[in-house]
Structure formats: structure tokens, C-alpha cells
């Protein structure tokens, strides 16, 4: 299938909008979407968006299921997703047409299901949707880290979701009919989509993945009512292409400013394959009108090719001249214009694949006696960052797992103090580093109770790696663009995952729960004093928030990489979780890879073999629990 040149697309060709009433409808959507989301999120009976709310705190105010009653929790129903592999997302629960409705989307081929929860113990599927035309099957082998999906969103009577092969689709929430669709990512350019779209101020914000296939990251905003493109910016390139302005980083010019084309700090034209894709989670502050997200790794994993120094020494490559901006960066963009208000690069000149895409959680907390509007981010590089979300001030940066690639983060410059012994650089020269490329935490979301804003409930990976850069053999987009042999192993034998309560101000772990299996799913914290999460071994658990003690556990039909939600209907509180092995760590199983190849799936086969994931059956399903009568 021949695709149009996306660089020339100003308005998606699939959208035909009548001129009459367009301006009025657009204005209504912009005025209404934030208010609707705020109203839905304030209702503890619902779970209306990815993290329950735009702040992504994943906190449920419900208390019926609590530390005393959780022992009576029982499964009441389950539903297949229609896909063999698992999902790194969660359902949503909203009121539509006076009915409580649940929506969820599967991994590839991205089947959407709508369940009527009027009888919450016996849900009825009222429609399902699968796009059957113009599908691009080449997206499947180009999905770097499995064909997962992180969920969908709801606003203005529509359900919005992405397909792996690059479509953003708006469905009528009552009928499942297509309202509009646009093609915004192209697998032949290395671009595939696994993230959920963000709804903010009448716009649908989307990105894609593909750093391992030489994609060039960008983020786009589409009009919620019509699908018309509002703005598009890249995460590398010229100042104009990125959206930098003279006001960008005004409070922190040391992080980089406009006027120097800092987004081109690559040798030659390497920035055109510079990665930096925003493939995971987005949050939004409706008062500040700022959209927050993190960008991915800067293209190939053989770092000397991203350094123009001759010879490429550690000192020269890490001087700041070749930071490969703006990969590994937390962005704050104005929702109306897309312009960058502030940007902070966590891992300049990345040498480990420490993607910065993990969730930016918004919470207000006291630091040094002053209440700050903060953004908290547990990065793959092993540091937990706290920034002022109004201007990008760096307030805290603490190690939350074993980290040896850096001594610390210099709080004045914001730059990590690297340990070159653990920094891969030259071709065929191995370096050991902790954490592994999968990070101290990958995309699996943490959670926090806004009333206790310093304590976060964090699912962590506990692995190190040996990384050997390889010779680059290709420079073509859409072709594997890694060029490294990576072997991953447990930081502590027999413990590959932990869930911990972590204080982001003091940098201290309050408690942690070790696990033989990796924790690739997110956490849910509740006002009933609980933390819910799932293990890749298939164990769905409830912990005491104060102590970390396991109060309840059930074995599900497959490994869990999804995120729990909670809602209440007709006087009963429910907890739902998507199960099904998958993701980067599960890819060796779902793709049937050779487990004797320790470098397979960029190091994942060694971890899958060591932790026994080969014994975990496949199968995507949604499980729902409530207290027994």
C-alpha cells in the first residue's frame, strides 16, 4: 500500500468536515472536554481516563474494599480481549446515555469492546469494533517491544484509541460507529503506535514509538470534534520544528534555550533518524494548560555514531555538544499552540537506552516548607525526579533502584554525573551497567494518593546488563536500528521484580515486596488503605499501603502487564485488571523466540528464560472482582 508523504500533510485526507457549524462545534468541544473530564474524575464511582484523572495519580477514593474486607474479594466475571497477547493498559468506566459503560481495547489487531454494566455482575457487550480496511501488517514486525496497547479514552460521547499501524479513531460511544479517523503514523518510517491518546482542552494528543526502527519522534494534536490537525511538533530538529520559543526554559536556561538549534546536537544528519518518540504516557494540567510527556531514546544503541567528536572519547561525547536533544526529555507544551514552555533532558547523550517515556504524575506537595505544583517521574535510568511543573525547576532526584552508571544528578546543572566505567561507547567494547535497558521501571505506571503526596507506589525492575555496541549496517527508516548486543540479568538472584513504597523527597524506601517474576503492570492505590498490582507470574495482589503486607492474592490465567482500576455500581465496589503475558519482557514468549539466544529481543530472552516466563500461558482477558455477598 502506497502511503502519502506525512511531511506534506497539513490536514488528514480521511477527514471531510462540512463548513457549517464547524467553528461552533470546535469551540464547544474545547470548552467542554476539560470540564467533562474534571466532573467525571471527581466521581469516585467512575474510572474515566487512563490514570483515573489527567494527573495520572491512579488513586481510587472508594473504601468498601479495604484492609479488613479485602479477604472476601472474589472474581465475579471475566471477558476475553479477543487477542492472544496482553495489554499494557486498562479499561475505562463512564456514564453514557444514562448507563454505566466499560470500554477497553485489545493488543493487535486492536479490538474495542463496549460493555453495558447496568447489571454489573453480568455485563452485556453492546458492540465491538475492529478496523478491517487499509490495515498495514508491516506494523507487527516493526513493533519494537510487542504489539501491546495502553488503552483508550472518552470525551464528548466518543471513544478514542490508536491502532498499532498508525490510525487514531473516534467511535460513537453508544453505537461503535466511526465518527472520524486519521492516519498519523507510518510503519514504513519505523512508526508504530501503542499508547493511549490524551484528551485535553478539546484536543486529542498522540505520538508513536519506533526509536529502534530509526523513527523521528513527534507529537500531534487533533481537534476532538472533527479530527482536523491543530498542531504538530518534533522532538528533535530545528527550533522551529520542535516548537522552542524565546520563552522556553526561561526559568532554567541551563537546560537549553532557543537560538542554537539544540535539537540538532547529533553528527551530520543523524537527527533525522534521532528517535525521541513519545510512545507511552501523557498527563495534563488544565489550570496551567500544559501537556506533559517524556521522549524516548535517540535512535541507535551504538552511541559512538551519535557523537561527532574525532576520536569519540567519553569526555568529548559527554561535553554537551552531542547531547542528542531532545531525546530522554520531559516536555511541557502549551496545549493550544504546542509550543515548548519548558523541557528537561534527564539522560543527555544516552548510552543505555534509558527512554524517558515513563508517566509524568502531577501532584502538589510541600518541599522545603513550600507547597509546589510538582511533576514526579520515575525514569528508566533509575532516578526518581521531582520538578516544578510550572517552570521546570528541578527539585529532587533520587536513586530508587540499584544505579551504577551515574553517581548522582548535579542539581545545579541538571546533568547526571556519569561513571564512564559503566558507560558503553566504542564498538565491540562491553560495559556493565545497572539498571538494564529495561530500566529501573519501564512503562508500568506508579501511583500516589494526593493526600499523601510524597509516597509513591512503584513497580520496579531489578536487572543489570552487559551492553556491547555493534557496527552500524543501515541508515534506513523502518529497518532495525539498534546495533548492540545486550545481555540482561537479575540484580539479585531470584528477585526480578519489586513493588515498593518510595518517598520522592527523602529518597527512602518505606517498604518493598520482592517477586520472582518481573512486575510489568502498574499499581492502583485506594482510600481503603490498599495497593493493587499484578505480577508476570499471574498473581494479582492487594497490599496494605502502610506496611506492604500481602493481604490478598489470586492466580489469574496469564501473566499481568495491565493496570488495575476500581469503580462502584449499585452499591458494590469493583476492581478490574487486564491479564495476558506480553510487552518487551514477554516478547520472547509471545513471539516464540529461541530461548538459547541470550541477546534475543534486545536482551529479553535471557530474562524470560531466567525467570521462567516460558511456563506462563498466553491469552488476553479482563478479570473483575468484588466482595462476596
Q: How far is CA 286 from each of CA 70, 274, 518, 619, 624, rounded to the nearest angstrom?
A: 35, 31, 35, 38, 32
DSSP symbols for 364-385: EEEETTEEEEEEEEE-TTSEEE
Rounded Cα gap, residues 1 and 515, in angstroms: 46
Has 212 been annotated as catalytic?
yes
* Helices assigned H by DSSP within 43-183: 139-142
Burial string for 274-305 (b: 16+ CB within 10 Å, else e) reads bbbbbbbbbbbbbebbbbbbbbbbbbbbbbbb
Task: Give the 3-state secondary structure percentages of the chain, helix then strand then coil, rounded to 5.
Answer: 15, 35, 50
Enumerate the β-bridge partners of residue 490. Answer: 463
Task: State the Cα–Cα distance between residues 231 and 291, nearest whole angstrom.
Answer: 13
Largest Cα–Cα distance in the chain? Answer: 72
Non-local CB neighbours of 441 within 8 Å, separated by 6+ positions: 358, 378, 379, 380, 400, 401, 458, 459, 460, 461
The angle that helices 600-611 and 583-590 make with each other, rounded to 10 degrees, is 80
| Cα gap 277→108, rounded to integer Å | 20
Q: List the catalytic residue out of 181, 353, 467, 515.
A: 353
Q: Pairing mode, if any, of strands 59-60 and 524-526?
A: parallel
Q: Is 515 a catalytic residue?
A: no
Helix or strand run (H / E) with residue 104? strand 99-105
Contact 386, 376 (CB under 8 A): yes
Please name the residues in contact with 264: beta carbons below 8 A apart, sequence gap of 6 or more.
236, 237, 238, 271
Q: Residues 6 or more apart from 615 whose CB is under 8 A from it? A: none
Query: Contact, 173 vs 179, CB < 8 A?
Result: no
In sequence order, the β-bridge partners of residue 159 are 154, 171
Of the candidates 157, 187, 173, the one whose C-alpha atom is nearest the C-alpha of residue 3 is: 187
Is 297 annotated in the active site? yes
Whole-angstrom distance, CA of residue 602 vs CA of residue 35? 43
Give the CA distances from residue 152 to residues 86, 102, 199, 229, 324, in Å, rounded to whole numbers and listed in that order: 15, 11, 10, 19, 31
Nearest residue to 100 via CA among 465, 569, 595: 569
Q: Quick one: which of 79, 86, 88, 94 has its CA closest to 49?
A: 94
Q: How far is CA 244 from CA 259, 290, 600, in A?
A: 9, 15, 39
Contacts with 629 (C-beta within 8 Å, 6 or more apart), sequence order? none
Q: Of the residues 53, 153, 297, 462, which is catalytic?
A: 297
Looking at 212, 239, 359, 568, which residue is catalytic? 212
Q: Which 3 state secondary structure label does DSSP give 129?
A: strand
Q: Which residues are catalytic?
A: 212, 297, 353
Amino acid at each position: 500500500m502506497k502511503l502519502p508523504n506525512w511531511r506534506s500533510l497539513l490536514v488528514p485526507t480521511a477527514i471531510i468536515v462540512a463548513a457549517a457549524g464547524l467553528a461552533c462545534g470546535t469551540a464547544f468541544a474545547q470548552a467542554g472536554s476539560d470540564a467533562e473530564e474534571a466532573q467525571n474524575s471527581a466521581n469516585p464511582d467512575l474510572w474515566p481516563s487512563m490514570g483515573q484523572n489527567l494527573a495520572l495519580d491512579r488513586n481510587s477514593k472508594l473504601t468498601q474494599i479495604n484492609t479488613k474486607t479485602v479477604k472476601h474479594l472474589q472474581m465475579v466475571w471475566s471477558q476475553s480481549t479477543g487477542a492472544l497477547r496482553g495489554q499494557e493498559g486498562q479499561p475505562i468506566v463512564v456514564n453514557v446515555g444514562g448507563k454505566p459503560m466499560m470500554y477497553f481495547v485489545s493488543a493487535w489487531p486492536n479490538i474495542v469492546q463496549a460493555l453495558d454494566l447496568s447489571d454489573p455482575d453480568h455485563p452485556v457487550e453492546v458492540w465491538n469494533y475492529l478496523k478491517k480496511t487499509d490495515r498495514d501488517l508491516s506494523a507487527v514486525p516493526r513493533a519494537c517491544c510487542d504489539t501491546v496497547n495502553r488503552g483508550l479514552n472518552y470525551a464528548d460521547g466518543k471513544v478514542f484509541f490508536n491502532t498499532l499501524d498508525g490510525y487514531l479513531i473516534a467511535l460513537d460511544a453508544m453505537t461503535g460507529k466511526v465518527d472520524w479517523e486519521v492516519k498519523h503514523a507510518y510503519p514504513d518510517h519505523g512508526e508504530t503506535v501503542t499508547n493511549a491518546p490524551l484528551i485535553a482542552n478539546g484536543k486529542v494528543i498522540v505520538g508513536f514509538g519506533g526509536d529502534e526502527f530509526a523513527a523521528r519522534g513527534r507529537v500531534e494534536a487533533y481537534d476532538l470534534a472533527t479530527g482536523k490537525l491543530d498542531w504538530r511538533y518534533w522532538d528533535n530538529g530545528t527550533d522551529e520544528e520542535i516548537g522552542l520559543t524565546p520563552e522556553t526554559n526561561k526559568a532554567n536556561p541551563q537546560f537549553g534555550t532557543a537560538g542554537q538549534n539544540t535539537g540538532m546536537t547529533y553528527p551530520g544528519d543523524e537527527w533525522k533518524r534521532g528517535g525521541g518518540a513519545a510512545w507511552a504516557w501523557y498527563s495534563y494540567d488544565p489550570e496551567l494548560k500544559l501537556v506533559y510527556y517524556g521522549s524516548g531514546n535517540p535512535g541507535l544503541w551504538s552511541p559512538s555514531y551519535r557523537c561527532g567528536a574525532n576520536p569519540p572519547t567519553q569526555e568529548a561525547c559527554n561535553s554537551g555538544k552531542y547531547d542528542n536533544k531532545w531525546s530522554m526529555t520531559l516536555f511541557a507544551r502549551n496545549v493550544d499552540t504546542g509550543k515548548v514552555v519548558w523541557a528537561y533532558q534527564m539522560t543527555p547523550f544516552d548510552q543505555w537506552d534509558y527512554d524517558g517515556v515513563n508517566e509524568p504524575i502531577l501532584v502538589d506537595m510541600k518541599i522545603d516548607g513550600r507547597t509546589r505544583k510538582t511533576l514526579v517521574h520515575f525514569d528508566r535510568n533509575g532516578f526518581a525526579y521531582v520538578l516544578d511543573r510550572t517552570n521546570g525547576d528541578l527539585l529532587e532526584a533520587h536513586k530508587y533502584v540499584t544505579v551504577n552508571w551515574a553517581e548522582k544528578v548535579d542539581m545545579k546543572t541538571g546533568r547526571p554525573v556519569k561513571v564512564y566505567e559503566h558507560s558503553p561507547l566504542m564498538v565491540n567494547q562491553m560495559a556493565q551497567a545497572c539498571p538494564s535497558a529495561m530500566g529501573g521501571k519501564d512503562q508500568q505506571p506508579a501511583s500516589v494518593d494526593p493526600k499523601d503526596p510524597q509516597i509513591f507506589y512503584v513497580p520496579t525492575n531489578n536487572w543489570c546488563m552487559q551492553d556491547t555496541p555493534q557496527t552500524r549496517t543501515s541508515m534506513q527508516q523502518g529497518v532495525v536500528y539498534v546495533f548492540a548486543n545486550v545481555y540482561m540479568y537479575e540484580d539479585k538472584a531470584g528477585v526480578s521484580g519489586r513493588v515498593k513504597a518510595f518517598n520522592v523527597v527523602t529518597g527512602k524506601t518505606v517498604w518493598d515486596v520482592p517477586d520472582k517474576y518481573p512486575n510489568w503492570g502498574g499499581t492502583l492505590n485506594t482510600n481503603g488503605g490498599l495497593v493493587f498490582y499484578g505480577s508476570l507470574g499471574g498473581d494479582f495482589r492487594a497490599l496494605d499501603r502502610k506496611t506492604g503486607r500481602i493481604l490478598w492474592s489470586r492466580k489469574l490465567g496469564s501473566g499481568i502487564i495491565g493496570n488495575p482500576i476500581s469503580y462502584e455500581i449499585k452499591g458494590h465496589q469493583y476492581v478490574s485488571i487486564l491479564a495476558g503475558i506480553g510487552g518487551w519482557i514477554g516478547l520472547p514468549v509471545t513471539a516464540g523466540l529461541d530461548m538459547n539466544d541470550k541477546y534475543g529481543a534486545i536482551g529479553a530472552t535471557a530474562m524470560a528464560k531466567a525467570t521462567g516466563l516460558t511456563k506462563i500461558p498466553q491469552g488476553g482477558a479482563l478479570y473483575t472482582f468484588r466482595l462476596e455477598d
